[in-house]
């Protein structure tokens, strides 16, 4: 193994290589990223317990790149350089989680002969207290499903956009299999995202979307308010499930909530 200079010149060369690498990722230049990998590259994704060589990396990189050129990760610190190694830290907050769930990730990138020779990527789930399962429980399933933190963040975004645009929750018979198929993922992947990452069941996620739809409809409705009818129109197929969901999220019964809306409307009319 040749000796390596860990002085200022090596540090500067490392910084230049890593910056080119960063810009290729940022602007979705797949060929540029691949050209920067050393033939003997060893890429360790410790979240998935996965080790990859050059032949496995193209598909991995493609599936993990930003969706649009220039889409940036939230860096939590500047790039730190030490001889032939650069250290990068960043956060990813998952959409659809109300800001309660994010991944804190770091990479140690080692440069040799002007190319990326080794990448050690670490990630951990950051939750609000009581938001779900122990983050250490995530890794085995993520490894089996082939999901990196970036891919999980894409899934969460796709799921949220699907619910916002298609409003599938209006169908009272909506099930997990249909959601997975129409989002382009497997049933197990969507189930993992919801239960293990976002910390909620499929039906809780769906009922929350139905409730938000109903609350928006209530704000536009004119008295007398027929909340039960609006609940069925929003996709609830059980009044008991609706009442439970409503109270959990508003702290009020539907009747009390409707009374508040009526009082506000009356006060506005009298103003």
Sequence ranges of the chain with CATH classification 1.10.10.60: 207-270
Check: CB of residue 60 under 8 Å from CB of residue 151.
no
Sequence ranges of the chain with CATH classification 3.10.450.50: 8-200
Residue 210 CA to residue 231 CA, distance in Å, equals 8
What is the secondary structure of 222-252 as a DSSP string?
-SSP-HHHHHHHTT---HHHHHHHHHHHHSS
Report pLDDT for 143.
55
Of 236, 260, 237, 240, the residue nearest 250 (C-alpha): 260
Task: Supply 19's token pair.
Answer: 């910056």
Residue 195 CA to residue 200 CA, distance in Å, equals 5
Share of the chain above pLDDT 90, in %: 55
Residue 164 CA to residue 158 CA, distance in Å, equals 10
- Which residues are paired to 82 by β-bridges? 85
Report pLDDT for 130.
47
Confidence (pTM): 0.80
Report pLDDT for 68.
79
Sign of CA dihedral 125, 107, 122, 141: positive
Report pLDDT for 80.
94
Report pLDDT for 170.
97
Q: What is the pLDDT of residues 197-221, one digit of tens each?
A: 888 899 999 999 999 999 998 888 7
Residue 80 CA to residue 108 CA, distance in Å, equals 10
Report pLDDT for 2.
46
Check: CB of residue 95 under 8 Å from CB of residue 16.
no
Report pLDDT for 218.
85
Residue numbers in the chain where pLDDT is lower than 50: 1-3, 129-131
Report pLDDT for 133.
52
Please name the residues in contact with 188: beta carbons below 8 A apart, sequence gap of 6 or more: 145
Q: What is the pLDDT of residues 125-168, one digit of tens each?
A: 886 544 455 555 555 565 567 788 888 889 999 999 999 999 99
> In the CATH scheme, what architecture does the domain 8-200 have?
Roll (3.10)
Of 86, 84, 96, the residue nearest 154 (C-alpha): 96
Report pLDDT for 128.
58
What is the secondary structure of 106-160 as a DSSP string?
EEEEEEETTEEEEEEEEEEEEE-TTSSS-GGGHHHHHHHHT--HHHHHHHHHHHH
User: Could you tell me the CATH superfamily of domain 207-270?
Assistant: Homeodomain-like (1.10.10.60)
Report pLDDT for 241.
92
């Amino acid at each position: 193994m040749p000796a390596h200079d860990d002085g200022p010149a090596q540090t500067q060369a490392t910084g230049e290589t890593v910056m080119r690498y960063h810009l290729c990722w940022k602007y979705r230049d797949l060929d540029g990223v691949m050209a920067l990998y050393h033939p003997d590259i060893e890429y360790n994704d410790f979240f998935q317990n996965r080790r990859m060589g050059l032949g496995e990396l193209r598909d991995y990189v493609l599936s993990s790149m930003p969706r649009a050129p220039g889409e940036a990760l939230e860096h939590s610190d500047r790039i730190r350089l030490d001889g032939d190694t650069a250290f990068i830290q960043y956060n990813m907050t998952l959409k659809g989680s109300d800001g309660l769930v994010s991944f804190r990730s770091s990479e140690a990138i080692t440069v040799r002969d002007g190319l990326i020779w080794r990448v050690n990527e670490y990630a951990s789930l950051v939750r609000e207290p009581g938001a779900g399962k122990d983050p250490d429980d995530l890794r085995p399933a993520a490894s089996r499903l082939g999901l990196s933190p970036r891919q999980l963040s894409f899934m969460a975004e796709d799921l949220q956009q699907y619910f916002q645009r298609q409003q599938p929750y209006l169908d009272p018979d909506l099930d997990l299999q249909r959601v997975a198929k129409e989002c382009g993922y497997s049933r197990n992947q969507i189930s993992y995202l919801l239960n293990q990452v976002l910390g909620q069941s499929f039906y809780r996620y769906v009922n929350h979307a139905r409730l938000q739809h109903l609350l928006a409809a209530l704000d536009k409705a004119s008295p007398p308010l027929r909340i039960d009818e609006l609940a069925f129109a929003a996709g609830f197929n059980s009044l008991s499930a609706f009442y439970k969901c409503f109270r959990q999220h508003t702290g009020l019964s539907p009747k009390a909530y409707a009374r508040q809306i009526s009082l506000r409307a009356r006060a506005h009319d009298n103003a």
